[in-house]
Structure 1
Amino acid sequence: MFEVFKKELLELLRDRKTLFFVLALPMLIFPVIMGLVGFLGSQAALKAEQKVHTYYIINAQHSKQFAERVFYHKSFKQYSGAEQFDTIDALKEAVRSGSIDVGIYLEADPADALKQGKQAKWQMVFNDAQSINFIYNRLQSLANEFSELLREQALVSLGVSKDKQQAILQPIVVSKVDTADKRENIGEKIGAFIPYLLIPLVLMGASYPAIDLGAGEKERGTLETLLLTPVTRTQLVLGKFLTVLLSSLACATVTVLSMAIWVSVAVSFVELDTIKNAFSSITGMDFVLIFALLVPIAAIFSSLVLAISIYARTFKEAQNYMAPLSMGVFLPIVVSLMPNMVLNAKTALIPVTNVALAIKEIVKGTVDYGLLSMIVITSAGLAALLLACCVRWFSKETVLFR
């Protein structure tokens, strides 16, 4: 078994393509991609936020104060074209054609409407798909400020002093006392997404060498030579399995180390104290626990991909089989993101989902070590069962010589 393992490992180390996907990709490429996406996203959001939007107001005479607030706002500039708009439909058409970014229709004077005990209904016309809601939020903020001013004036005219207005408008104030610390709050929000990076990489670390050790051997015609050696089928499968498992674990190790390094680097440079304090509380033991969870998952994936590779006739056919498996791995991860999905005695028995939930709990700092042990044991049991099936699969001539 170990002779087969040594032989396959040497061949794996000579394959630069596999080494790139197992080592270089998790350590460098993914952090660079994530950083680049984050940078481009922040730049796009900043550009959208700083954009000056062209506006047109119908019936500006109904509220000169509001019209002046919009005019002097740094995010808006008045339409300077010759065309005139007097209906909602005209404003819609102007927005669609690009003549203006937003149209404002003031149906009535809010001061007069308030005296009559009515609300003034204003309409904002814009393309919400392109504005990322910046336009509406800013105009609504200006309208709310003006509305508060009118309300204050109306209450004063009714004999309610300014110092009593807040108590009348909001007699009861409810405040939230959160028992969760900053790490738990942030971990709940981002902890569930970490498995999206870790678990698929573990599968990828097993897939590439497994395809070569199974379907690749068939395609090159070297599988028959191995079968003629004085090695049992079980030893042959175990040797190949150990090679695939080592590759998967190497990918997992590099991924966890990379995540630890990049988190420490981010903590050193990020200026947000909340995020900094939350991530600085993640210890080395937490990363060890995450790695411990990935070991049985790596064994499960190694057994699966090796069985698939042995069944496939060619390298290309094996790659086609791996695609549905990759998609299937994401399904239990998505399940872990569902509302009210928490780690308990039941969810600890769901493969992959249990690991995703446990990683989130580790990031939050609220992990239950009893459930963690249950996950490792059940995952290891499933991996052993799949490995036994893989050995039996390899023993069938109809599978080896399809």
Structure 2
Amino acid sequence: MSWKNIKLIFIKELVGTIRDKRTIIAMIIIPLIFYPLLFAGIGYFSKVGSIKSEEAASKIIILGAKFAPQLVKHLQDYEKIEILIIEDDSPNKLQNGDIQAVLVIPSDFKYKIGQEEPNKLILKYDATEAKSRIAQKRIYQIIEEYKSEIILQRLSRLGLQEEFLTPLILQEENIATAEKITGSFLAVLLPYLIIILIFTGAMHTAVDITAGEKERGTIATLLVSQISRLEIVLGKCFAVMLISFTSMVLGLFGLTLAFLSGASIAGGVEGVQFGISVNTVFLLFLVLFPLVGLASAVLVMVGIFARNIREASSYITPIYMLTIFLGIISISQGMELTG
């Protein structure tokens, strides 16, 4: 085996890949520009939508409002709740999004309050709609406040203080540092991002220099030369590895810019601070080298086995889905890797 021949094949494939505009788009444009814009755009529009939903008033219907005038007054005093008092359940209005919630008050509500008996209120909302979930939280908060007032009144009549109902107070303290929160956050995202970046950077090149050369008929020239088939395969694998690794690095750099800008989804995660040491970056790359090598070898093998580009693409798709599935398993709740 001659490293000179391997280097020759490596340079040949690398130069040919760089000359291909599609490879440049897949290796530079998509990771460095498209991914940051995509994540920043998703984060921006998510924040805008969330702010609009929080600021908008919740339209609700109260059935049986006359049975609980004090509760209705509490709801009316809340500026972000608009009450429609009608005696019609109107399920279609809730399903169509015309209203965000329906509160049903029983006819014996006032009587049971006077008798100090438990009451049952029914709150109907659509858990699949963000505005309806916000309305549910607002109504729940107001009802809890109203319930606290009733409890205080009953305690006052009995000559008891509010502390009578709170014998224990649980104070929670989160010992996780900002760095640990960041690590936990990245542990969820990085497997997906790295797998996607590695495969998107390597797929086109691996298929083009194997199955693509079969279609063009240029592979025969290499096979009749003095270079052994092992040297040809190694040269092609090293070229795919370099392209894949470069694409991954550029992609991670672009996504880091998106996260640091504060406009992406990560910008809205409380306690997340991005600060990775040089040692961490070194260890990350050290771990990724075998993964890049494995992905490149598998893709080159598939490309050699396939008769044309279309067949190679059909083989690569299930492999790509399998790697994502393995990434999902690795970050599943309750799963811990032990050595």
1:55 alignment partner in structure 2: 60
Tell me if structure 2 keeps the 8 A contact 1:101–1:126.
yes
What is the CA–CA distance in structure 2 between the aligned matches of 1:106 and 1:257, rounded to whole Å?
Answer: 56
Contact 1:22–1:251 (Cα < 8 Å) also in 2? yes
Listed as ranges, the gaps of 5+ residues in structure 2 are 1-5
Pick closer, same or farther for the CA change 1:135–1:190 going to 2, 3 Å. farther
Letter in 1 for 2:126: N
Partner Cα separation in structure 1 for residue 98 and residue 238 of structure 2: 66
- Matched residues, percent identical? 23
Is the alpha carbon distance of 1:99 and 1:272 closer, same or farther for their aligned partners in structure 2, counting shifts above 3 Å? Answer: closer
Residue of structure 1 equivalent to 2:87: 85
Matches within 5 A, 1:361-372: none
| Corresponding position: 1:221 with 2:244 | no
Pair 1:173 & 2:169 matched: yes
**CA pair 261-35 structure 1, distance change in 2 beyond 3 A:** closer
For residues 72 and 331 of structure 2, the distance between their equivalents in structure 1, rounded to whole angstroms, comes to: 45
Q: 1:201 aligns with which of 197, 202, 211?
A: 197
The 1-side partners of 2:155 and 2:123 are apart by: 28
Query: Is 1:103 aligned with 2:102?
Result: yes
Residue 66 (str. 1) matches residue 71 (str. 2): yes
Query: 1:292 aligned to 276, 286, 296, which one?
Result: 286
Instruction: Determine the C-alpha separation between the residues in 2 that align with 1:97 and 1:265.
Output: 37
Shift of 1:263: 4.5
Structure 1 Cα separation of the partners of residues 229 and 336 of structure 2: 42
* Distance apart, 1:317 and its partner CA: 1.0
**What code does the residue aligned with 2:87 have?**
F
Aligned match of 1:124: 123
CA distance in 2, matches of 1:289, 1:65: 63
Q: Is the 8 A contact 2:64 2:87 kept in 1?
A: no
- Corresponding letter in the other structure for 1:105: V
Residues 5 and 239 in structure 1, CA contact (< 8 A), matched pair in contact too: yes
Change (3 A) 1:125 1:327: same
- Which residue pairs with 1:25 in the alignment? 30
In structure 2, do the counterparts of structure 1 residues 55 and 252 end up closer, same or farther at CA, with 3 Å as the change threshold?
closer
- 1-structure distance, mates of 2:159, 2:282: 67
Structure 1: give runs of 5+ residues left out of the alignment.
Answer: 346-402
SS in 1 for 2:160: coil
1:139 aligns with 139
Work out whether 1:153 is the aligned partner of 2:153.
yes
Are the aligned partners of 1:54 and 1:76 in contact in 2 as well (CA < 8 Å)?
yes
Letter in 1 for 2:123: M
Supply the AA of the counterpart residue of 1:296: P
Counterpart residue identity of residue 48, structure 1: S
* 231, 236, 240: which one aligns with 1:235: 231
Cα distance in 2 for partners of 1:182, 1:77 equals 40
Tell me how far apart the structure 2 counterparts of residues 201 and 271 of structure 1 sit (CA, whole Å): 22
Aligned length: 331
Aligned partner letter, 1:230: Q
Shift in CA distance, 132/124, structure 1 to aligned 2, threshold 3 Å = closer
Cα deviation for residue 294 of structure 1 reads 1.4
- 2-structure distance, mates of 1:49, 1:263: 24
1:262-321 Cα deviation digits (max 9, x unpaired):
455449xx9989646x323x2233222222221110000000000000011111111111
- Higher percent of residues as helix: 1
Task: Say whether the 8 Å CA contact 1:79–1:100 is kept in structure 2.
Answer: no
* 3-state SS in 2 of match to 1:57: strand
Is 2:252 the partner of 1:256?
yes
User: Quick check: 1:200–1:329 contact (8 Å CA) kept in 2?
Assistant: no
Supply the distance in 2 between the matched residues of 1:142 and 1:122 (Cα, whole angstroms).
13
Larger RCO (alpha carbons 8 Å, 6+ apart): 2
- Letter of the aligned partner of 2:9 in structure 1? V
Shift of 1:191: 2.4
CA distance in 2, matches of 1:273, 1:202: 26
Aligned-partner Cα distance in 2 for 1:272–1:123: 33
